[in-house]
Structure 1
Amino acid sequence: MADSPSNPARRRFLTGAATAVGAVGVGFAAVPFLSSFQPSAKAQAAGAPVDMNIGKLAPGQMTTVAWRGKPVYVVNRTDRMLDSLSEIEDRLSDPHSKVASQQPEFATNLYRARKEHERYLVIVGLCTHLGCAPTYRPEVAPDDLGDDWRGGFFCPCHGSKFDLSGRVYKGVPAPTNLVVPQYVYITDEIIRVGGTEEDLA
């Protein structure tokens, strides 16, 4: 029996269907390739800088941002808080921030900040004993922390205490001050945690 004459409509349909199936296949093949250009979860956790608006942070208030999978505390310290920093140095293990690994060089001052008398404290909110998150305790002389407490951070896990610059008290389980991360001011109201001076160039 002779072949039937070709059907142009059928040929167009089959060509279109084959093209569509091929396009879907190419799309599936391209997904892993294109996704390789995106930062991996590991790279994201390793730490892109994080911008934080501190413009509405009231005096005495603390806010938290996640960076490299860790909480970073930012506190807008009051005049009273700043004045208390020099009053308690004899009760601290490392009042002059001599353990260099705990802060960038710019933060080895009394305020552990970029500038003298700087109100904003930026620290990693993880206790240097076993990594619990210390609670912010700005009140003075609360019943549970004693008459000599001038405000700071208290770790509820094992009782470590830190002042309002994140400096560790003597006689507690935590061996070192809280970590000050690298950070820069992008504007007067924007802090970039993980940022460097190169970000300002």
Structure 2
Amino acid sequence: MANQGVNDPVNQGRRRFLTGTTVVVGAVGAGIAAVPFIKSWSPSARAKLAGAPVIADISALAEGQRLIVEWRGQPIWIVKRSKAVLAALPTLDAQLSDPKSDNKDQQPAYISGELRSIKPEVSVLVGLCTHLGCSPEMKAEIRPEPFDSEWKGGYFCPCHKSKFDMSGRVYSGVPAPTNLVVPPHHYADDNTLVIGVDPTNAPGAA
């Protein structure tokens, strides 16, 4: 099955997610006040709740931006990570609860390691905290933050102070017990991401 091995997050976080919308947020870099709208294609609301795949065009996704789509009533974060963020990820292992993604319930079998992605620069995560299902804030810049003076980019849940890196790996000593979930997904081509279907189950897969 397409979502085998991936658990659904707590549904309470939906209250913070504006359903039926697709937005781009979280531009990285000083002086950036707005980011362009990025197009995506989605099936009907009824089809999404039934688990139909969601197709997203990521051709206009710039470094440091996040595209949000909805799949099975959950926000899916598609983020293009910077080279600096990618370089920082291996340095965080000692601060994380599950740095090597050993908990196989949080991602498909083809996702592993510190990147937790098919393409190194593109992260795909379910945007719900694994503590109580709140929606964390993206803090993608590498800079000191009030909650972490040595912040290397990631996600911060203001509800109960859980922290995750830019791969969705959870920090040690926070309420969230596990990494953010990576949903089943594959690339139909370089710019077309399909959420909800594993690569092995994609049309034309061997």
TM-score, length-scaled by structure 1: 0.76
Measure the CA separation in 1 of the matches of 2:198 and 2:142.
35
Is 2:203 aligned against 1:200? Answer: yes
Match of 1:177 among 176, 179, 182: 179
Pairwise mapping of residues 44-193 of structure 1 onto structure 2 (< 5 A)?
Answer: 44-115=48-119, 118-193=120-195
Measure the CA separation in 2 of the matches of 1:96 and 1:46.
32
Measure the CA separation in 1 of the matches of 2:45 and 2:80.
34
Shift of 1:95: 0.1
Per-residue CA deviation, residues 84-122 of structure 1 (Å, 9 max, x unaligned), is 10011100000000111000011112200125xx10000
Q: Detail structure 1 runs of 4+ shifted over 3 Å in the superposition.
A: none
Is the CA contact 2:144–2:150 (under 8 Å) kept in the aligned structure 1? no
Name the amino acid aligned to 1:144: P
SS of match in other structure, 2:67: strand
Measure the CA separation in 2 of the matches of 1:86 and 1:80.
11
Identity across the alignment (%): 46
Instruction: Tell me how many residue pairs correspond in the alignment.
Output: 160
Structure 2 residues not aligned, in runs of 5+ = 1-43
SS of match in other structure, 1:89: helix
Is the CA contact 2:85–2:142 (under 8 Å) kept in the aligned structure 1? no
Structure with the largest fraction of helix: 1
Measure the CA separation in 2 of the matches of 1:145 and 1:63.
25
Per-residue CA deviation, residues 142-175 of structure 1 (Å, 9 max, x unaligned), is 3312222100001111110000100000000000
Structure 1 residues not aligned, in runs of 5+ = 1-38
Measure the CA separation in 1 of the matches of 2:183 and 2:146.
30
Per-residue CA deviation, residues 164-201 of structure 1 (Å, 9 max, x unaligned), is 10000000000000000000000100000002233231
Which structure is higher in RCO with an 8 Å CA cutoff and minimum separation 6?
Answer: 2
RMSD between aligned alpha carbons? 1.6
Q: 1:140 to 1:44 in 2, by over 3 A?
A: closer
Deviates more, 1:137-146 or 1:185-194: 137-146
Structure with the largest fraction of strand: 2
Q: 1:133 to 1:40 in 2, by over 3 A?
A: closer
SS of match in other structure, 2:110: helix
TM-score, length-scaled by structure 2: 0.74
Per-residue CA deviation, residues 25-80 of structure 1 (Å, 9 max, x unaligned), is xxxxxxxxxxxxxx994x64131000011110111111100000000001100110
